[in-house]
Each structure stands twice: as structure tokens, then as C-alpha cells.
A = this chain, B = another copy of it.
């Protein structure tokens, strides 16, 4: 039996979970809700620029867990692949600017590029930007995405693949982001989390609704779906991870609701189901 969490010391919320809020609203809303950590999406930085966003975050006192997201390495031309790498270098700079120790990578996929080719381009792309990440002191978290996104978002669809990438890249600056939404179905999940020893850089939670009405924006609140979140947390902790637990929920339903109330629901679901 995994012990329930007893307090909110490890709780972190993604700005995408409260998408309707600006960065400033999120910072003050999380603070009021006594949530002490935040993962920032680049779109929430954009209206301010990294410098001003960094100041706002510093003033709020919230801890930045990661910046979402880099990646999207595959492209049909070498020129476009180089563009993608430069965009990742900019994202690394942004992470460093706002004090995020980690950039999460959604690796990318392009209809028309064979998955095996895309996978090689992803490996090459991460290898190409790793020196900049190291120079900036920003770690890279490879986040395997659910196979339903293999067509256009990520050709890295299982933890086994991500683990193999991490081994191939062999860098202290490259590890794994485990998201229960993407990985819960995998029959070898427990074994592959076991293989991550020391390489889990971040951990995302939400739930899988049945039925899921939309492939992108119908994620569930923890406890409202069928993911054994607490079991997975136990496996992740056994693999050496004791860092923040990040609530990342894309949901048209929740975005339409009062975001302060949403934070209360998150806090209650967090203790009960994570």
C-alpha cells in the first residue's frame, strides 16, 4: 500500500491547467490557494517576454518546476530541422531566464514522415541541443506521449522508447518526464519505470475519462477516471523520484469553470487520489 500524501508540499500546477488565467493571475491565484510551485507554459510567458515574466515569478515567491515545452524536432527539410533546434535553444534560454531547472520535450511527429525516420530525427535533435542545455544548467525531460498522438505530436509513445533514448544520449542533462495520462495503459509500465532509476526528472498527473470525448482537451480530474495514479506514484518513488507532483489537466470543461474553485478541487483530489 502506498501512503496517501499528507500535505501540499509537493503540489505543483501547470499554467495550462488554468489556461484562461494570465501568468499574473495564475501566480496570484496559486499563491492564494497556498500552492507553492508552478510549471509555466511558453504561451503564458509570451505576452510578457521572459525577462518580465521572470520578475513576476520571482516576486510571487512560487517555485518554478519546469517550462513546457520544447521538442517538435522532426521536419522534412534539414533547414526546418535546424529551425526546430534553434527554437529549442530559445526555449532553453527562456527556461534559464525564469529559473526553471527543466524543459519538457514533446518530441514531435509529422504526417508524411515515417515514424522510424522521425525517431532518428528526434534522437539527433536532442543530441544537438544538449550542449546548450548543459551550458545553461537546464535539464531536458523527454515526455513520451500517448500513441494516439503518434500522427502529429510525438513519435515517442512508450516509456521503453524514452528510456532507450536516454541511454543512447547518455547525458546528466537528459531524462524522463512521466505523465500518467500518456503511459497508464502500457502493460510494461511498472517495469519501465523501474528502469528509470534516477532518471525521472518530472511527474505529471491527471486522469483518463471513459469515455474520453476529445483527444486533446478532455482530461479528467484525479479520481474521475481509471488511472491507478497512486500505484504509479509508488512506482515512480521507488525509482528514486521524490520531486514535485504536477497537475496538468487540459479540459474544456474545467477551463469554462471558475479557476479558483478548480484549484480547490485539485487540492482535494490530490490528497484523495494521488
Closest residue to A209 on the B side, CB-wise?
Answer: B151
Number of copies: 2
Closest residue to A154 on the B side, CB-wise?
Answer: B185
**A67 → chain B closest CB, angstroms:** 26
A127: interface (CB < 8 Å): no
User: Complex: how many Å from CA A161 to CA B226?
Assistant: 20
A210: interface (CB < 8 Å): yes
Residues of B within 8 A of A152 (CB): 210-211
Give A208-227 as 1s and 0s: 1 = Cβ < 8 Å from B's Cβ atoms: 11111001000000000110
A199: interface (CB < 8 Å): no
Asked if A186 contacts B147 (CB within 8 A), the reply is yes
Asked if A212 contacts B147 (CB within 8 A), the reply is no
**A154 → chain B closest CB, angstroms:** 10
A5: interface (CB < 8 Å): no
Residues of B within 8 A of A111 (CB): 210, 225-226
Partner-contacting stretch, out of A69-77, A100-108, A112-120: A112-120
Asked if B185 contacts A115 (CB within 8 A), the reply is yes
Residues of B within 8 A of A186 (CB): 147, 157
Asked if B147 contacts A228 (CB within 8 A), the reply is no
Residues of B within 8 A of A112 (CB): 226
Residues of B within 8 A of A228 (CB): 114
A33: interface (CB < 8 Å): no
Residues of B within 8 A of A226 (CB): 111-112, 151
Residues of B within 8 A of A146 (CB): 147-148
Residues of B within 8 A of A114 (CB): 228
Instruction: Enumerate A203-245 residues with CB–CB distance to B below 8 Å.
Output: 208-212, 215, 225-226, 228
Asked if B115 contacts A148 (CB within 8 A), the reply is no
A158: interface (CB < 8 Å): yes
Closest residue to A185 on the B side, CB-wise?
Answer: B150
Asked if A151 contacts B208 (CB within 8 A), the reply is yes
Which residues of A pack against B, CB within 8 Å?
A: 111-112, 114-115, 119, 146-148, 150-152, 157-158, 160-161, 184-187, 208-212, 215, 225-226, 228
